Chain A
Amino acid sequence: MPHSHLSHLKCSGCDRRYSVQEVHTFCPDCQSPLLASYDLKQVKARVDRDEISRRRKGMWRWHELLPIQNPDNIVFLGEGDTPLLRVPNLGKELGLSNLYVKDESANPTGSFKARGLAAAVSRARELGIEKVIIPTAGNAGGAMAAYAARANIRATIYMPKDTPRANVEESRMAGAQVILIDGLISDAAGMAGEKARAEGWFDLSTFKEPYRAEGKKVMGYELAEAFDWTLPDVIVYPTGGGTGLVGMWKAFAELEELGWLEDTKRPRMVAVQAAGCAPVIKAFHEGAAFCDFWLNAHTLASGLRVPKSFADALILENLRESQGTAVAVRDEDILEAQSQLGRREGIFAAPEGAATLAALRILIENKWIASNERVVLFNTGSGLKYLA
């Protein structure tokens, strides 16, 4: 029985199909992100959701729906199956009876980036790639370095020089070459792309290869399983590159097609960005199909300092399809929310994760959420990694 039912790659812009036996980046025709497709009929015929639930915990128990064809290529550090925590103290304070935090800080390297990079590095190994490169605002670098080290793949990382020190040190500790630059992640992306083209490094930038989203989508599977194969009403998600948001929306579609959902009602997705860098929020509310490049991006939440995502069209499509919304929050409100998560629930959230709580307050004020709805906030990483 195949370990994975990966069938082909499909361009999110023009629908052109690509073989999974070759190395691909993004669509050469229309330069949109590629997404992985699976033979879901075969998956349905060969495995059921209860069998997956019985397997050993971790992201790879969903292997039929992940892209690694030979299990020997999986690079595993314990990623996945992070806790979904009910947060009753916060819920009571906010007047919500069903409030949860999906705490991604429990992943290896302390953030949700582990999921995407586990999938991408595993797939890189499977395809014979020997050196990988990434631009990052922080946690993706540490995650890539860790998985690349375990896979015996060389790693180079471009980071803005004000990236949290923990991200720099963990990357170096894992043997990666770290290049600190004077600029934003978009600047880092330009430099990494140049080095990749000149020296043959494989670029693992967000959505410039198809497999990081596959690791991230498992967050969606885990939510469905945790809610007894239904989906929450609202997911509040910090959005930089948007891999998790797009990945989860893809996961929900796959689960629906598999017939594994008891109720196919999808969540309303909420993209959260910082007021100092809010290209998705601006485009969403203007009704635009793409984001404008955000000038002078600034926020303490380094993971949200993304002036324009390569997958902006997909993010905006998914938000609209979900009848969701997009909310910008101020840095001072992120800090207050971070403190509140700690005081009320003992969660030391990353600023990006805390931003979801700040956004939730706005959504409640705007009466966008009913008091009995099931709401999931995503804490994407550990606050410990941001200590000076």
Chain B
Amino acid sequence: MNKILYIEDNPDNTTLVRRALEARGYTLIHAANGLNGVSAAEAEDVSLILLDINLPDIDGYEVARRIRASHKIQLKSVPIIAVTANALKGDAQRALEAGCDVYMSKPINIRELWARVEAFVPAG
């Protein structure tokens, strides 16, 4: 299984990441806000979650916390890569404390994204 959930409200980033990951054989599921992202994580069997921190409803930290606290047992260990545009003070630390495994700042370098994703989920 190489299904990845991308929680991101920016359509440009979504297009870029979709193209990059699908080129490597991954299947991308997209949620455009935090609440939909949590629902998608619970409804689908995903191998990895890419999580934008700046979302229009609940922020990425809260999304990560809810995913980790989910009744769905697999979500306690699914890898979460946090991504943020601002890299504001403490963002990385907060993301890791909220349950994310890796932190990346935008702009997302595609080669790095591939490497980070493939570290958890082999390319399809």
Give A contacts to B, CB under 8 Å.
13-14, 26, 29-32, 182-184, 186-187, 189-191, 193-194, 289-290, 292-293, 295-296, 307-308, 310, 313
A189 to B106, CA, bound (A): 10
Q: In the assembled complex, which residues on chain A have CB atoms less than 8 Å from the CB atom of B111?
A: 13-14, 30, 32, 289-290, 313
The reply to whether the CB of B14 lies closer than 8 angstroms to some CB of chain A is no
A313 and B112 contacting across the interface, CB-CB below 8 Å: yes
27 pairs from A and B in contact (CB 8 Å cutoff): A13-B109, A14-B110, A14-B111, A26-B107, A29-B110, A30-B110, A31-B107, A182-B89, A183-B89, A184-B89, A186-B87, A187-B88, A187-B89, A189-B87, A190-B84, A190-B88, A191-B86, A194-B85, A289-B115, A290-B111, A290-B116, A292-B103, A293-B103, A295-B92, A310-B109, A313-B109, A313-B111
Q: What's the Cα separation between A188 and B88 when bound, in Å?
A: 8
With a CB–CB cut-off of 8 A, which chain B residues contact A14?
110-111
Chain B stretch 65-110: residues in CB contact (< 8 A) with chain A: 84-89, 92-93, 96, 102-105, 107-110
CA distance A68 to B104 in the complex (A): 34
Determine if B86 and A32 form an interchain contact, defined as CB atoms under 8 angstroms apart: no
Determine if A30 and B109 form an interchain contact, defined as CB atoms under 8 angstroms apart.
yes
Query: Known contacts A187-B86, A190-B88: does B104 contact A293 (CB below 8 Å)?
Result: yes
Contact B105 A293 (CB under 8 A): yes
Whole-angstrom distance between the Cβ of B20 and the nearest chain A Cβ: 8
Determine whether the beta carbon of A290 is less than 8 Å from that of B115.
yes
Contacts of A31 in B (CB 8 A): 16, 107-110
A290–B92 contact, CB under 8 A? no
Given contacts A26-B107, A30-B110, A293-B103, contact A194 B86 (CB under 8 A): yes
Chain B residues positioned under 8 Å from A308 (CB to CB): 105
Nearest Cβ on chain B to A338's Cβ, whole angstroms: 28
Cβ of B116: which chain A residues have Cβ within 8 Å of it?
A: 290
Given contacts A295-B93, A296-B93, contact A190 B108 (CB under 8 A): no
Q: Is the interface of A mostly helix, strand, loop or mixed?
A: loop
CB distance from A346 to the nearest CB of B (A): 39
Could you tell me the distance between the alpha carbons of A255 and B86 in the complex, rounded to whole angstroms? 39
* Distance to closest chain B CB from A309 (angstroms): 11
Apart from A184-B89, A190-B87, what are 17 other A-B pairs with CB-CB below 8 Å?
A: A14-B110, A14-B111, A32-B110, A182-B89, A183-B89, A187-B87, A187-B88, A189-B87, A190-B85, A191-B86, A289-B111, A289-B112, A290-B112, A293-B103, A295-B93, A295-B96, A313-B111
Residues of A close to B87: CB separation below 8 A: 186-187, 189-190, 293, 307
Q: Which residues of B contact A289 (CB under 8 A)?
A: 111-112, 115
Chain A positions within 8 Å of B108 at CB level: 31
Instruction: Choose one: A186, A290, A295; the contact of B109 (CB below 8 Å).
Output: A290
The residues of A that contact B96 with a CB separation of less than 8 Å are: 295
CA distance in complex: A32, B85 (Å):
16
Closest chain-A Cβ to B9's Cβ sits at a distance in Å of: 15
User: Do the beta carbons of A186 and B105 come within 8 Å of each other?
Assistant: yes
Cα-based distance from A296 to B91 in the complex (angstroms): 10
> Are the C-beta atoms of B104 and A190 separated by less than 8 Å?
no
Cα distance, A30 to B112, chains bound together (Å): 9
Q: Quick check: B109 and A190 within 8 Å, CB to CB?
A: no
**Nearest-neighbor residue (CB-CB) of B112 within chain A:** A290
Which residues of chain B are near A293, meaning CB under 8 Å? 87, 92, 103-105
A183 to B, closest residue via Cβ: B89
Least CB distance from B64 to A in Å reads 16
Bound Cα distance from A292 to B89, whole angstroms: 16
Query: Closest Cβ of chain A: how far from B86's Cβ, in Å?
Result: 4
A329 to B93, CA, bound (A): 23
How many whole Å from A129's CB to the nearest CB in chain B? 20
How distant is B8 from chain A, measured CB to nearest CB, in Å? 15
Closest residue on chain A to residue B116 by CB atoms: A290
Q: A293-B103, A308-B105 are in contact. Are A193 and B110 (CB under 8 A)?
A: no
In the complex, which residues of chain A have a beta carbon less than 8 angstroms from the beta carbon of B107?
Answer: 26, 31, 310
Give the docked Cα–Cα distance between A362 and B84 (Å). Answer: 37
Min C-beta distance of A28 to chain B, whole Å: 8
Q: Which of A13, A186, A307 has the most CB of B within 10 A?
A: A186
**B32 CB to nearest A CB, Å:** 19
Residue of A184, A193, A290, A295 touching B85 (CB-CB under 8 A)? A193
Most buried by A among B85, B110, B112: B112
Q: Cβ of A194: which chain B residues have Cβ within 8 Å of it?
A: 85-86
C-alpha spacing A292/B102, complex, angstroms:
8
Chain A residues positioned under 8 Å from B105 (CB to CB): 186, 190, 293, 308
